Amino acid sequence: MAVDDGAIREIKARIDIASYIGSHVQLRKRGNDLVGLCPFHAEKTPSFHVHPDKGFFKCFGCGAGGDVITFAQLHENLTFPDAKRMLAQRAGVELEPQNPQAARARNEREAIYEANRIAVAFFERMLHEPSGAKARAYCEKRGISEATIEKFHLGYAPDEWEGLTRELARNNVEAALAEKAGLLKRGERGFYDFYRDRLIVPTYSTTGEAIAFGGRLLHDGEPKYINTTTTPVYEKGRHLFALNVARRAASHDRTLIVVEGYLDCIALHQAGFENAVAALGTSFTQDQAKELRKYADGIFLCFDADTAGNAAAAKAIETAAQVIEHAGSGVRIVELPEGSDPDGFVRDQGPEAFAELLKNAKPAIEFRLEGEIARLQTGFHSPAAIAREAEALIRRLIPAAEWDRWRVWIAQRLHLNVDDLRNSRFLANSANFGPRQLPVTGHRARTVLPSSFERDVLAIIVEEPALLRAFRDRIPQERFRNEVYRRIYERLANAEGLESTTDVFTLFGDDSETLALLSGLSQRDRSSTLPYTDSDERRAHLERVVERLQLDDERERYRELSLKIDELATAGQNISTELRGEYDSLVAKLKNKKEVKVK
């Protein structure tokens, strides 16, 4: 298969190398890199590094290294064409031999990149022509320096109908193609320039191609801004302005600042905040959040402080929290003074004042919870109802591993006891307070957890077998009712040196049925409604299993003691101090957990 540079570039753009390699190798954060045990040679000390922002991996032990295609070649033992085809299918990229129509579409995208490059050069040249005087004056009024103009390739679309049309024709760019690129429009008399008498701001992909343009009107009127809509190379809501330059600055401290508009972003860059990007509108999307996650561990969201800005911030925070924060990165909210925007603030107050806003930025969870707390405080709900709503908020908005920390924070602000929040879900269910039913005869069987308990535990251990060291004694194999699951768990618990999923599959390498079962469990875990996205969440779920098992033991002992005491009382015999003391102690413990009522 002939090597198609356009297809390769598209594959690399669509596949996050950290996520792809992370599905095969257990990676941990170390500085700007991700590190793990090399899958290509035996080692005990991690020397395998992945650089998500640069798009390559390197093992300092065996020397293996390259991009995502190279990794697929080595890991799957494929030739370059086969690895390329496999990743293309994963990324949804059609390759030329399989689909000639897709090859033509890819060639069209390359042609649009070239048309956009010609347009950028034309607009830049026009800015420095006499006709561009008012655009240069506008830049001066906004405090945009010549160096910034050059850095962002700002330009001017002349106030005429066919300036760019003629320029594209001189460079053999077909008008119909330019129309698809969003550069021209089709009218009754032919094609004409889409951008006229506007300051032009191009947007670039992270691989360096101009993919879209924004045009700012230089006088009063509407619309103030016009932008490229969806084209074969640009999809609104997927890209971020200035990410091509901000990602380099983000490599120093792994943070990015997100603002709404490109002029806000340009102003921050000029003020020294070169890790700023713009969402190109207020509708911050999950695709944009995923793109940010490749380059930063900390995200500052900084939107305008007007009503529209606050509404946009609320939606952006929700998206960012779901995609970034739950994946392990932090999100903080930069609160501007009322009526301010980033551009005006940094020009009026200076870089030091904006740096102070960054320093005082609130965690996104705190920002979101404050609004909900204010709503609860202004209502007429009972304390029990407030506690119930507060607990629901915690479970909806916060990763499970952080529930307890935020329960304390919320309880203090609502003037509640933190236990009121913890117990609110149990207290809301009247079935938990029915009268104690005494057994008629015989010994009741031990309560067991639903079968998902066993599947979830195994799925977590397959994902992170190192957790067995902390939990194999606390979750004993005897608690597994399913014989197959119990046998697998017993073998895992008795094995030594299990550190990765690969080790687990190696342990059962001679048992195809077990390998198939473990693969199914692992896939179920990734698509489950209980997402174990990181080690903390997996550990937290195992802790909940331990707590449930302990509660089961206490319930069973309570039933045994109740039966014993009832039998002694019926026979007119004395109840020993030790027996009564154990019973009373257990009743107090379960009552505190709201499990029983005292007789």
Chain Cα centroid distance, residue 528: 17
Q: What is the pLDDT of residues 469-486, one digit of tens each?
A: 888 888 988 888 888 888
User: Which spans in 286-398 are helix H?
Assistant: 286-293, 307-323, 342-349, 351-359, 364-378, 383-397
| 41 vs 6, more confident | 41
Mean pLDDT of 122-136: 97
The string of pLDDT tens digits covering residues 276-299 is 999 876 567 778 888 888 788 899
Whether residue 506 has pLDDT greater than 50: yes
Judged against a pLDDT cut of 80, whether residue 505 lies above it is answered with no
Range from 88-92, 199-203, 432-436 that averages highest in pLDDT: 199-203
Topology (CATH level 3) of domain 243-360 = Dna Topoisomerase Vi A Subunit; Chain: A, domain 2 (3.40.1360)
Q: Supply the pLDDT for residue 446.
A: 37
User: 154-169: per-residue pLDDT in tens?
Assistant: 999 999 999 999 999 9
Statement: 429-599 belongs to CATH 1.10.1270.20 = no
CATH number of this structure's domain 100-227: 3.90.980.10
pLDDT tens digits for range 300-316: 989 876 645 566 666 66
At the fourth CATH level, the homologous superfamily of domain 5-91 is Zinc finger, CHC2-typedomain (3.90.580.10)
Q: What is the pLDDT of residue 439?
A: 41
Rounded to whole angstroms, the Cα distance separating 25 from 39 reads 7
Select the more confidently predicted residue: 147 or 99.
147
Most confident among 35-49, 395-409, 488-502, 538-552 (mean pLDDT): 35-49
- CA angle, 576 then 578 then 583, to 5°: 95
Average pLDDT over residues 385-410: 82
What digits encode the pLDDT tens for the residues 316-331? 676 766 666 655 568 8
Least confident range of 145-159, 179-193, 410-424: 410-424
What integer is the mean pLDDT of 419-442? Answer: 51
Closest CA to 256 of 206, 306, 211, 215: 206
What pLDDT score does 309 carry?
A: 53
Q: Which residues pair with 225 in a beta bridge?
A: 216
Is a pLDDT exceeding 60 seen at residue 529?
no
Looking at residue 38, its pLDDT comes to 92
For residue 520, the Cα-to-chain-centroid distance in whole angstroms is 24
Helix axes of 364-378 and 383-397: crossing angle, nearest 10 degrees: 160
Chain segment 244-273, per-residue pLDDT in tens: 899 878 877 889 999 989 999 999 999 999
pLDDT at 451 over 60: no
pLDDT recorded at residue 311 = 63
* pLDDT surpassing 50 at residue 510: yes
The pLDDT tens digits of the residues spanning 562-581 come to 778 767 766 667 778 888 78
pLDDT on residue 145 = 96
The neighbouring-strand residues paired with 227 are 214
Q: Give the residue extent of every domain in the chain.
A: 5-91, 100-227, 243-360, 367-428, 429-599
Which comes out higher in pLDDT, residue 558 or 36? 36
Mean pLDDT of the region 412-436: 63
Q: Above pLDDT 90, what percent of the chain?
A: 30
Helices (H) and strands (E) in the chain, counts: 26, 16
pLDDT of 552 reads 82
Cβ contact 69:11 at 8 Å: yes
More confident residue, 164 or 532: 164
Residue closest to 467 by CA, chosen among 528, 532, 516, 410: 532
Reduce the secondary structure of 28-78 to three states and give it as a string: EEECCEEEECCCCCCCCCCCEEEECCCCEEEECCCCCEECHHHHHHHHHCC
Residue 432 has pLDDT above 80, yes or no: no
Give the pLDDT of residue 531: 52
> What pLDDT sits at residue 198?
97
Longest dimension (CA), the chain: 111
pLDDT (average), residues 431-442: 40
Predicted local distance difference test score (pLDDT) of residue 183: 97
What per-residue confidence (pLDDT) applies to 436? 40
User: Does residue 514 surpass a pLDDT of 80?
Assistant: no
Lowest mean pLDDT among 8-12, 232-236, 316-320, 398-402: 316-320
pLDDT of residue 380: 62
Neighbours of 117 (CB within 10 A): 14
Bridge-based pairing of strands 330-333 and 362-363 is: antiparallel
Tell me: pLDDT of 453 over 90.
no
Q: Which pLDDT score, from 0 to 100, does residue 43 have?
A: 87
Tell me the percentage of the chain whose pLDDT exceeds 70.
Answer: 80
Sign of CA dihedral 249, 251, 255, 261: positive
* pLDDT (mean) for 508-536: 58
Query: Tens of pLDDT along 205-227?
Result: 887 889 999 999 998 888 999 99
- Cα 86 to chain centroid, rounded: 25
Residue 435 pLDDT more than 60?
A: no
Q: Would you say residue 23 has pLDDT above 70?
A: yes
Tell me which long-range contacts 198-201 makes (C-beta under 8 A, separation of at least 24).
Answer: 198/156, 198/157, 198/226, 199/135, 199/138, 199/139, 199/154, 199/155, 199/156, 200/123, 200/154, 200/155, 200/156, 200/157, 201/152, 201/154, 201/241, 201/262, 201/263, 201/266
Q: List the one residue out of 504, 502, 484 whose CA is nearest residue 493.
A: 504
Chain mean pLDDT for the chain: 81
Residues 239/211, Cβ–Cβ less than 8 Å: yes
pLDDT value of residue 589: 77
pLDDT score for 100: 61
